């Protein structure tokens, strides 16, 4: 999400530790073992104290506070995050930021998936489930679906699958963040920075909030509730606009982070642009579809042995 960060979000500068490898902000040349304040490659004047301290607020969460540090990092432009390639980057902090973002985005959705559906929910959508034109499969198709339905009926499985899917989809892009033209140190920093590209995922809280509100309205049925309007608004918002916008922002932010952090070729960026949506779709099938199926298959095997 490319909105300006608050000006006070930058941490104070401190002297560079002697064992930290710094890179020239202009050309990326390694300054290890060089005492001069100018880059020997391009002549750029290097501020070593500034280049030794990360500008990502999340890496200073102990001083800023976790909520404030997360909020400031969330609104930090992706190009500013990528510019920390010249500075030390904490891999564990980046992974923790990814996990926190995934939990914020997925837990409201996962909790909704774990709840039993109230009897009057489908009536609030405009009719009973039995009246919907759903054609059930037959033959081998129903045999294949039975394990999935059995596993999905175990309410904890689908929420776990949702969380695991979001973790996988926000981490798969890291495989593109180590082009061979970078040094090992730069590759490690780029991989860590790739996890900060998951920020747009927090937008999924919006349809989750709408879904929870509609679920409560369906349960309590206030007199002012317009069922047709509410069902159309809920379905359109929850399954349409916001998830699509979120995926587009996540895709664009990841590509922009790759280009800015690694200065890689256009071919590499184009390859990831095509591969990333395919990888997300495969992960959705393997995790959201596969985990309930495996659990359900195990349950069916266990029941058959009783």
Q: Does some domain include residue 210?
A: yes
Q: What is the pLDDT of residue 236?
A: 58
Query: What value does the CA radius of gyration of the chain take, rounded to a whole number of Å?
Result: 24
Average pLDDT over residues 257-277: 91
**What domain range is 134 assigned to?**
91-304
Rank 82-91, 135-144, 160-169 by mean pLDDT and report only the highest. 160-169
Q: Which tokens go with 260? A: 């800015």
Per the structure, how many domains does the chain have?
1
Work out the end-to-end distance of the chain between its first and last CA atoms, rounded to an integer number of angstroms. 53
Give percent above pLDDT 70 in the chain: 63
pLDDT (tens digit per residue) in 7-65: 444 444 444 444 456 665 545 556 665 666 666 666 655 555 655 677 888 988 888 88
Q: Does some domain include residue 167?
A: yes
Q: What is the pLDDT of residue 147?
A: 84
Q: Does some domain include residue 42?
A: no
Mean pLDDT of the chain: 76
Q: Does some domain include residue 85?
A: no
Closest CA to 13 of 114, 87, 97: 87
Q: Does some domain include residue 18?
A: no
Q: Which tokens go with 242? A: 């916001």
Q: Does some domain include residue 149?
A: yes
Give percent above pLDDT 90 in the chain: 27
pLDDT band at 231 (very low <50, low <70, confident <90, very high): low
Q: By three-state DSSP, how is residue 148 classified?
A: helix
Contacts of 268 (CB under 8 A, 6+ apart): 176, 179, 258, 262
Residue scoring higher pLDDT (276 or 28): 276
CB 74 within 8 A of CB 249: no
- Could you write out the DSSP letters of every residue in 16-50? PPTT---B-TTT--B-TT--SSB-TTT-PBP-HHH
For tokens 């501020």, the residue is: 47
The pTM of the full predicted model, rounded to 2 decimals, is 0.74
- d(C-alpha 97, C-alpha 157), whole Å: 24
Say what the alpha-carbon torsion angle 185, 188, 189, 192 is, to the nearest 10 degrees.
-170
Residue scoring higher pLDDT (104 or 115): 104
Q: What is the pLDDT of residue 212?
A: 66
Residue scoring higher pLDDT (1 or 277): 277
CB 293 within 8 A of CB 148: yes
Look at the chain and count its residues: 306
Instruction: Please state which of the ranges 151-155, 219-223, 225-229, 270-274 shows the lowest mean pLDDT.
Output: 225-229
Count of CA atoms in the C-beta half-sphere (13 A) of 152: 12
Q: Does some domain include residue 27?
A: no
pLDDT (tens digit per residue) in 182-228: 888 888 889 999 999 999 998 888 777 776 666 666 666 655 555 55
Q: What is the pLDDT of residue 200?
A: 92
- d(C-alpha 196, C-alpha 265), whole Å: 21
Q: What is the pLDDT of residue 110?
A: 76
Q: Does some domain include residue 263?
A: yes
Q: What is the pLDDT of residue 29?
A: 59
CB atoms within 10 A of CB 83: 16
Residue 195's alpha-carbon distances to 43, 64, 101, 177, in angstroms, are 32, 21, 10, 10
Residue 179 has pLDDT above 70, yes or no: yes
Closest CA to 158 of 223, 192, 110: 110
Residue 244's alpha-carbon distances to 43, 102, 144, 204, in angstroms, are 46, 17, 29, 10
Q: What is the pLDDT of residue 125?
A: 44
- d(C-alpha 299, C-alpha 306), whole Å: 11
């Amino acid at each position: 999400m490319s909105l300006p960060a608050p000006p006070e979000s930058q941490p104070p500068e401190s002297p560079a530790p002697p064992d930290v490898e710094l890179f020239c902000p202009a050309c990326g040349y390694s300054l290890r073992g060089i005492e001069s304040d100018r880059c020997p490659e391009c002549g750029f004047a290097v501020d070593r104290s500034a280049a030794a301290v990360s500008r990502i607020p999340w890496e200073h969460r102990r001083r800023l506070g976790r909520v404030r540090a997360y909020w400031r990092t969330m609104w930090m432009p992706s190009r500013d995050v990528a510019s920390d390639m010249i500075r030390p980057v904490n891999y564990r902090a980046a992974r923790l930021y990814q996990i926190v973002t995934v939990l914020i985005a997925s837990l409201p959705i996962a909790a909704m998936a774990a709840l039993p559906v109230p009897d009057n929910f489908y009536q609030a959508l405009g009719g009973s489930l039995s009246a919907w034109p759903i054609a059930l499969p037959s033959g081998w198709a129903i045999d294949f679906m039975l394990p999935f339905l059995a596993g999905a009926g175990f309410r904890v499985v689908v929420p776990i699958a949702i969380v695991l899917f979001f973790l996988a989809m926000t981490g798969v892009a890291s495989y593109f963040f180590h082009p061979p033209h970078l040094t090992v140190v730069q590759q490690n920093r780029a991989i860590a920075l790739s996890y900060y590209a998951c920020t747009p995922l927090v937008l999924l809280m919006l349809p989750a909030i709408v879904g929870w509100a509609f679920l409560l309205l369906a349960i309590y049925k206030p007199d002012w509730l317009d069922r047709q309007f509410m069902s159309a608004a809920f379905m359109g918002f929850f399954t349409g606009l916001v998830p699509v916008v979120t995926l587009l922002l996540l895709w664009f932010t990841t590509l922009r982070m790759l280009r800015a952090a690694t200065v890689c070729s256009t071919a590499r960026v184009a390859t990831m642009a095509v591969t990333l949506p395919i990888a997300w779709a495969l992960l959705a099938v393997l995790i959201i579809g596969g985990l309930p199926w495996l659990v359900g298959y195990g349950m069916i095997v266990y029941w058959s042995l009783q």
